[in-house]
Amino acid sequence: MKSAVIVFPGSNCDRDMACALELVTGARPAMVWHRDSELPYGLDLIVVPGGFSYGDYLRSGAMAALSPVMRAVKEAADHGVALLGVCNGFQVLAEARLLPGALMRNAGIRFVCRDVALRVENSQSAFTARYEAGEEIVLPVAHHDGNYQADTETLDRLEGEGRVVFRYASEVNGSARGIAGILNEAGNVLGMMPHPERAVEAAHGLADGRRLFEGLLEAVGQPA
């Protein structure tokens, strides 16, 4: 599987993501700097990692959404390449309008850094094919702005179309309807606040994130 991880000034989960991808897929991802206006040819997966791109200036993800590389990322996503945004990556994809809604300051104001239980609501996507629908998994979260908000109409549409793929099993950050991860309309873009890359092997203490990458691997025809 050919993958790329986008690196912004202030990204800090890019190397964790690269390690996870290499561990699970067997291939090292290309690390693409935010100023690059082109992506490597023939990508199966692009990941926008967590961190504090551009110091979270103005709004989390707002500056990164306008960086040169994002034009190429948008174009690739439009052509069906799988695109995963984790944590700050989710904020970037929302700011870039690749996903609906916005991620606001946590309702409890505090930064939340702990393992949380999630329900897999949709196991039909390439990202979640290796999970069971309704299954409860545990992944770490570490964010200040993870409070997902959108208007009622948008929320209803997301629910109706099965685009809410991960939901917090209990209250974490005030997100509307407990939303932890959503898909775009075409189903090839996933944004999620929890960190699957921090839960891929026994040494992490948690390994529920591993199957997300295995599912993607399977989707491109490589058995995990």
Q: Which residues are catalytic?
A: 87, 195, 197
Q: Which is nearer to other proteins, 149 or 222 (CB)?
A: 149
For the window 65-104, what string marks contact with other proteins as x by the rule CB under 8 A?
Answer: -x---------------------------xx----xxx-x
Residue that the structure tokens 């949380």 belong to: 116
Polymer length in residues for the chain: 224
Is residue 186 within 8 A of residue 120, CB to CB? The reply is no
Residue that the structure tokens 């700011």 belong to: 95
Tokens in use for 110?
Answer: 């505090």
Ramachandran assignment for 133, one of left (phi > 0), alpha (psi -120 to 50 degrees), beta (any other): beta
Of the candidate residues 2, 15, 59, 74, the single one contacting other proteins (CB under 8 A): 59
> What residues between 158 and 177 interact with other proteins by CB under 8 A?
174
Q: Does 140 bind other proteins (CB under 8 A)?
A: no
Q: Does 15 bind other proteins (CB under 8 A)?
A: no
Q: Which is nearer to other proteins, 123 or 174 (CB)?
A: 174
Sign, Cα dihedral of 137, 141, 144, 145: negative
Q: Does 58 bind other proteins (CB under 8 A)?
A: yes
Q: Does 113 bind other proteins (CB under 8 A)?
A: no
Q: Can you say how many angstroms the Cα of residue 110 is from the centroid of all Cα atoms in its chain? A: 21
Question: Can you tell me the distance from the alpha carbon of 195 to that of 167, in angstroms, rounded to the nearest whole number?
Answer: 14
User: Contact positions toward other proteins, by CB under 8 A?
Assistant: 58-59, 62, 66, 94-95, 100-102, 104-109, 147, 149-151, 174
